[in-house]
Structure 1
Amino acid sequence: MIRIEAELPRNDLAAVTDALDMMGITVNITKAKSRGTTVGSEVHAAKGTGMYRSEFRDKFILQTTVSDNSEHDVIEVIRSNSNTGKISIFPISRVIDISSGVENEQGLALSEYDSVILIAAKKQETSFPFGLTTSKVKLEPQAIEGEKGYYDVIEKKFVPLENLESVIAQVKPIEKFQIMTPDDAFLIQSLTRIQRNFSLYKRKQSDSYSQAFLKYISNRFLSLWPENEINTAVLYVDIVGSTKIATSLSSEELSGLIKVFSEEMAVVVSKHAGFVLKYAGDAVIAFFPELKDFGNMAENAVRCARSMNMLVNHSLNPMFASFGLPKINVRIGIDVGKNRIVVLGSEPDLIGHSITIASKILPLAQPNQMTIGEETYKMLSQEMAVQFMKIDPQDKRWNYNHPTTGKIYPIYFSIPVMQISNRGN
């Protein structure tokens, strides 16, 4: 790690800080001692022009601490956006975040909101959310009538610290988590959440707090390794026949349905040690990275898909029926592989072969079925692998040639639970 200091004139300060902000680099700025107390003398730039006063005596010190890998990029940004000044580099042996105890690169990058999340997570006795990185402060500390909390400058509302702890308690991952029965405690929580929030979602155009929180955590996780490749399982889930459903509902009803669906999918993804990559209309795209405390990423994704179907059948659809809305079915596509973390605009994203495969095999799934690629299938235990059947070689719907082998890439369909039981007999 290194600390970079740049002495810059006022004229160049805004351009440099804006450019560093685009990179997600946080800076501190102090005014340097000026060289004298008098205003610069008036000077004619050229005959016939106006007068101007030199501002070069107004110097500012810009400071930032970054990883060694970022040194070259930060220096180039400063040089390309400033005409004069000096840049100094200082090595740093160790950085510790006071509130959380996190050290070095992660401690270096913690924003105020990150610190609050880690404090709340510590009270919930969980290592979630795994890793955080630099960004603008999302929440500002406040106290209303003695209640401690934070003003969320994105959601534009006060969030009690107790509420943040409650959100973490609901979404924190559990190893080998899966919804197994209709009376599962997670389903009871889901029913309560939907009952409480559906009418609010119809009126509110932004995402729910849980959705915004989980997307924030996902961005933080990906920002730890910009432009690097990571192994992940990628999961696509969408609503079957959503266009037909949309034509039968008012805009408020459709908005409420989609928001409830997206939130419940996001929460169950997190319970299975996954992250929401993006919300795309009636679809949710998630990724499950390699996490040593949470087992096999492919099996986490498959268990998550099973839980999603349980959630639809035993929570979402019963609640939609009570609201006078149509029931829904989902289809799911999963594959595993290396994906590159890229920054598109202001947010990190994933690009890779497995994301492409997961999106291509999604439409082949029947309602309430999942389709997985061979790389996913090869990572499953025997107990889980028997829950899938290989695509018929004569099935003309699938003819994708793998770029490495040059042969058709095998895919597998999930088998209904009843058929799995019959197979065992």
Structure 2
Amino acid sequence: MSEEPEKVDEPIPTSNIVDMMFSGANAGGTLDTESLIKETQKRVWSSLKKGYEYDYSVDESDKFLRAHVAQKMPMIVMFVDLAGSTDMALLLPPEKLGIIISSFSQEMRFVIRYHGGYVLKYVGDAVIGYFVAEENPLVVSDNAINCAKNMIDVIERGINPILSQYEYPELSVKIGMDFGENVVVRYGSDQIRSHIDILGPSVSIAAKITALAAPNQILIGEDVYKKIHPSLKELFEKVEWHDNQWSYHNRETGKIYGVYAMHL
């Protein structure tokens, strides 16, 4: 078993790499997926080998939401759920399991920020993100789809090769997302410390379709599908449900709300 990947350097600090990637995206620069994967490998290796600690901050999201309390905002909400974590918990020592799950969560955070989104929170082995779509929902929808694609790419080409070197189980994810208006809710009167969250149908739908996804599958609601570029639509096909797997109805049409699966 190889002890470490070839020519691994010290990882760039998490805050720096996120700033570099996010500023590049906003400035119209090219999103360099290969660099993202390379940095992922460095951080994951360093985490397993040297106890490298990630930055778990959701300060960017917190600051944004606190500036918009009680407002309704169009968003794409994304759930990213680590598949097979229960079996992994039975195979690995607790400290290694913790390192792997934390590495997974933070690498998904980097990809979300890389594509202009925010991380709302971490829930167990899942990451919940959102993409604000006030100005250009079509572009934001494309960004969210590309984010999901890159997440799987980062896991398969960035994280899993490092885990394999240490004979750890490889990771896979289930990703679901939906578009809609969500209200920003603050639970309490303290403008700084009170818990803050988002509520809306798209949150519930994204969670439900994620639970129905297969490992390394991306599912999107029809309100996302309608907004993405035709070249991305070609990557999806409508899911045909069986045995009452899915019963959510579109509020406007009364018909079963469509869910689309990406074929990678």
Give the TM-score range, shorter chain.
0.7 to 0.9
Partner of 1:352: 200
Residue matched to 2:246: 398
Are 1:415 and 2:255 an aligned pair? no
Contact 2:22-2:115 at 8 Å conserved across structures: no
Q: Would you say the 8 A contact 2:75–2:131 is kept in 1?
A: yes
Residues 1:288 and 2:136 aligned together: no
Match for residue 190 of structure 1 among 40, 43, 61:
40
Q: In 1, are the aligned partners of 2:236 and 2:261 still within 8 Å (CA)?
A: yes
Supply the distance in 2 between the matched residues of 1:385 and 1:325 (Cα, whole angstroms). Answer: 35
Give the CA deviation at 1:365.
1.5
2:159 counterpart of 1:309 = no
Matched residue, 1:247: 90
Percent identity of paired positions between Structure 1 and Structure 2: 32
Following superposition, the deviation at residue 394 of structure 1 comes to: 4.6
Distance 1:163 1:301, change over 3 A: closer
* Inter-partner Cα distance in structure 2 for 1:226 and 1:164: 26
Amino acid at match of 1:249: L
> Does structure 1 residue 235 correspond to structure 2 residue 81?
no
Question: What CA distance in whole angstroms lies between the structure 1 residues aligned with 2:250 and 2:142?
Answer: 22
User: What TM-score results when the alignment is normalised by the length of structure 1?
Assistant: 0.54
CA distance in 1, matches of 2:173, 2:220: 15
Residue identity matched to 2:121: K
Q: Is 1:342 aligned to residue 193 of structure 2?
A: no
Deviation at 1:172, TM superposition (A): 3.8
- State the AA in 2 paired with 1:385: K
> Aligned partner of 1:258: which letter?
I
- Name stretches of at least 5 consecutive residues in structure 2 with no aligned partner: 1-12, 189-193
SS of equivalent to 1:359: helix
Give the match for residue 119 of structure 2. 276
The one-letter code matched in structure 2 to 1:195 is W
* 2:18–2:110 CA contact under 8 A, matched in 1: no
Name the CA shift for 1:259/1:393 in 2 (closer, same or farther; >3 Å).
Answer: closer
Indicate whether 1:300 and 2:143 are aligned.
yes
SS of equivalent residue, structure 1 residue 174 = helix
Give the C-alpha shift of residue 199 in structure 1: 4.4
How far 1:402 sits from its partner (Å)? Answer: 2.8
Q: Is the 8 A contact 1:371 1:411 kept in 2?
A: yes
Q: Is the contact made by 2:131 and 2:144 (CA closer than 8 Å) also made in structure 1?
A: yes
- How far apart are the structure 1 equivalents of 2:177 and 2:97? 27
Which residue of 2 is the match for residue 153 of structure 1?
A: none
Aligned residues: 245
* Residues 269-307 of structure 1 deviation map (CA, whole Å, 9 limit, x = unaligned): 000000000001110000001265896221111100000
**Corresponding position: 1:386 with 2:234:** yes
Residue number among 77, 95, 107 corresponding to 1:264 in the alignment:
107
Q: Radius of gyration: which is bigger?
A: 1
Deviations 1:244-269 (A, max 9, x none): 11111111011000110011000010
Per-residue deviation at 1:198?
Answer: 3.1
Q: What is the rounded CA distance, in whole Å, between the counterparts of 1:390 and 1:318 in structure 2?
A: 32
Aligned to 2:166: 323
The change in CA–CA distance for 1:305 and 1:347 in structure 2 (over 3 A counts) is: same
Contact 2:69 2:184 in 1 (8 A): yes
| Distance in structure 2 (CA, Å) of the matches to 1:383 and 1:370 | 16
Match of 1:376 in 2: 224
What TM-score, normalized to structure 2?
0.85
- The Cα of 1:397 is off from its aligned counterpart by 1.3
Query: CA separation of 1:294/1:267 partners in 2, compared to 1, >3 Å: closer, same or farther?
Result: farther
Cα gap change, 1:163/1:289 in structure 2, threshold over 3 Å: closer, same or farther?
closer
User: For 1:109-120, what aligned pairs fall within 5 Å after superposition?
Assistant: none
Contact 2:76 2:177 in 1 (8 A): yes
In structure 1, distance between residues paired with 2:31 and 2:83 = 23
RMSD: 2.4
Q: Which has the higher contact order (CA 8 A, sep 6+)?
A: 2
Instruction: Tell me by how many angstroms 1:383 deviates.
Output: 0.6
